[in-house]
Copies of this chain bind each other. A is one copy, B any other.
Amino acid sequence: MKLSTKGRYAVMAMVDLASTSHGNPVALADIAERQEISLSYLEQLFAKLRRGGLVRSVRGPGGGYLLAHASDQTRISDIILAVDEPIRATRCAPGSPVGCRANKARCLTHDLWEELGNQIHLYLSSVTLANVVSRRVLGTSGVLEGAEAPLAEPMVAAQ
């Protein structure tokens, strides 16, 4: 899980789309103006979002983009995963963590980064576009509802 401005731009744009499209396509130019992001850059982001199945496009005049799913079905983590290339969190041998054992001193931190990635993914998976639009990102207690449930299924390596 990578955190860069690219992912943030994508989320900002998706929030804009979710809050302005009431079933109608929204042109990228409008989003670009409201969010102050260059149109060409947005096009690149939305190309990835489309390939990731998060938005649908309508070409021609009156066209634009639509959410592929309802805003409460679109998780923030999906958006970030769609636009950001996965990165290698450790400098271990590519592929399996076999190379780690060769130099165990270096990879004591391996589990730490992996678990941190899990934590980030867990949080961003618990927030939907609808949550952000309605400004319900977190409860007042600082604890996210529904986030306490321990992971049942093995979490995908966050990378």
Contact = CB atoms under 8 A, between A and B. Distances in A.
A96 interface: no
Grouping DSSP codes into helix (H, G, I), strand (E, B) and loop, the A interface class, with mixed when no group exceeds half, is: helix
A35 B105 contact: yes
Contact of A112 (B90, B115, B120, B127): B127
A110 B103 CA distance: 41
A11 B112 contact: yes
A10 to B, nearest CB: 10
A154 to B, nearest CB: 10
Interface in A104-149: 105-106, 108-109, 111-113, 115-116, 118-120, 123-124, 127, 132-133, 135, 137-138, 141-143
Interface stretch (A12-20, A50-58, A60-68): A12-20
Contact of A115 (B12, B36, B109, B137): B137
B108 A119 contact: no
A142 B118 contact: yes
A95 interface: no
A22 interface: no
B133 A142 contact: no
A11 B137 contact: no
